[in-house]
Amino acid sequence: MKIALISHLYPTKLFPHQGKFIQDQFELLNEDQGNEVDLIVPTPYAIPYTGRWKASKSELLCDPDQSFRVQYLSFPKRRFPGLIQRSLSNQMLSFLQKKQYDIVHVHWAYPDGLILPELKKAGFKTVLTIHGSDWYQTKDTPVLSELIKESLFKADRVLYSGPKLKQDIEKRFPELRLKSDIIYNMVDTDAYKPASKAEKISLRKKLNWDDSKTHVLTVGSLRPEKGVDLLVETISGNKALSHIYFHIIGNSENTEHSQKILNSIKENNFNNIDFIPPVSPNELIKYYQASDFYVLPSRREGFNVSILEAASCGLPLVCTDVGGNKEVIDKGTGILSNKIKDLDPSDILAMSKEYSGYKPERLNKVIKENYGKSTFQNNLLSSYGLSLKS
């Protein structure tokens, strides 16, 4: 099967952590010798030597014979979406028509999914995966929502990253139920695996962590939807949590929200919050393995990959009840916090006393059976088959 995998997010030398789950999918599809897969990365034109320009020039972490950038006209803050759609559609169609693809799999409703009406006209069989942020950040913008609606109806199959996302979209567009499915994100459970006691001690020593303390990990950018500010406020305002050390790995951004979080971390009286800039996937595994449990304080999610990685490494979870978090917690992987606006400190405190009761090997097994590579591949290929028959 000849497959075009389209995503504007993909790891590069400059940003090796972005879109890692797309890279995992690309590599998984390539493991099947019956597939021939090309990666196509929509890349906006940019003013030379700006940050966006440098990002667009950064080498993709992918076989150069299988990866291509297609440039198009874009504008900041999602302005002029009609112009963006025309430019991206024309450029992408020009590229795709040079090759005979059986399936064109497009990730993200915006901007990538805007090309689907033109692909439909040209006779391509298409699959669209929506991840959450691409829907929730655009659904209430009149012009954008109309363009995305058209794309949803033109796709042969629509895949959602979690049940809440499917429910929310199909509440507005119930007709999509006839051609949609949920496909959970996956994790390589052989790479993301629990560390032995000796390995954990060794990792903590390398990270300069006090092995006598309880260590909690969170991975998330300092954007409002990720709720890191909620976590920092909860930690800073509760002396009962002062004996626990919290490590937050993520992108800080040049925004007031991001700066406020960083200032709060510096001003924390208990000195038990460590903010760490993004690390490579291999380094991130070490942080998971060195930790005792994992906290996800998000206000909004599609289906979060980090909780799969954490649980696969043997960490029990404390998550807010958003997106697909309940789906994972219901499999016996941790605690679901019912508070979104204010992360409940009692849940974190409870887990600090209970985490040793969770068996790391069992958590890894649960993730493998439900979100492992084999399960994901079977579901994805089934969706491709249904698209070809449509």
Give pLDDT, residue 74. Answer: 94
Q: Does domain 197-371 have CATH number 3.40.50.2000?
A: yes
Q: Do domains 2-186+372-389 and 197-371 have the same CATH topology?
A: yes
Give pLDDT, residue 1. Answer: 93
% of the chain beyond a pLDDT of 70: 99
Q: Residue 17 pLDDT more than 70?
A: yes
For 202-241, how does the pLDDT look when each residue is reduced to its tens digit (9 = 90+)? Answer: 999 999 999 999 999 999 999 999 999 999 999 998 999 9
* Domain spans of the chain, in order of start: 2-186+372-389, 197-371
Structure confidence at residue 77 as a pLDDT band (50, 70, 90): confident
Mean pLDDT value across the chain: 93
% of the chain beyond a pLDDT of 90: 83
Domain at 2-186+372-389: CATH code: 3.40.50.2000
Whole-Å CA distances, 380 to 64, 109, 294, 388 = 24, 18, 28, 13
| pTM for the model | 0.81
For 169-209, how does the pLDDT look when each residue is reduced to its tens digit (9 = 90+)? Answer: 999 999 999 999 999 889 999 999 999 999 999 999 999 99
Structure confidence at residue 18 as a pLDDT band (50, 70, 90): confident
Give pLDDT, residue 350. Answer: 94
Give pLDDT, residue 339. Answer: 65
